[in-house]
Amino acid sequence: MSRKTKYDYYDDRFKATAVELGDLPGVCAKDVAEVLDIHPIMLYRWKKEYREGEIMKKPVKGVMDTETSRELKRLRKTEKAHKTLQMEHELLKKASSIVRIEKRDLRVYRYTA
């Protein structure tokens, strides 16, 4: 018997889906493994990893509805404006403290002849 030279790679999303299918009531894990063309021992190992939190079902990347993307753009724009306003506020606080110091040191002399 020859060893397999190229191994299949299964991402976490596939593993999590396989585990969830195996956990359905009335479904045998061996049948799920057969349908998915994987060894049943592998499915049992994935179940263990899933319980321990090593495998997590991740959301699909790049899929975002238009309302969410619009809201995200608005949020980024608002955060940028907020940061700008914070910087302006800090500059004004520094400037007002300098003006107060200069006013305090300013002495008015009246010339009397």
First to last CA, the chain: 119
Report the C-alpha gap between 74 and 63 in whole angstroms. 18
Examine residue 37 and state whether it is found in any structural domain, yes or no.
yes
Residue 113 lies in a domain: no
Range of the domain at 80: 64-107
3-state DSSP percent of the chain in helix, strand and coil, to 5:
65, 0, 35
In a domain, residue 4? The reply is: no
Same domain for 78 and 46?
A: no
Residues 48 and 68 in one domain: no
95 with 68, same domain: the answer is yes
pTM recorded for the entire structure: 0.46
Tell me the average confidence (pLDDT) per consecutive run of 10 residues in the chain, 113 residues long: 66 88 87 90 90 73 77 93 94 80 63 63
101 and 71 in one domain? Answer: yes
Q: Considering the domain boundaries, does residue 84 fall inside one? A: yes
**In this structure, is residue 46 part of a structural domain?**
yes
**Number of domains the chain contains:** 2
Residue 84 confidence (pLDDT) = 95
The verdict on 40 and 69 lying in the same domain is no
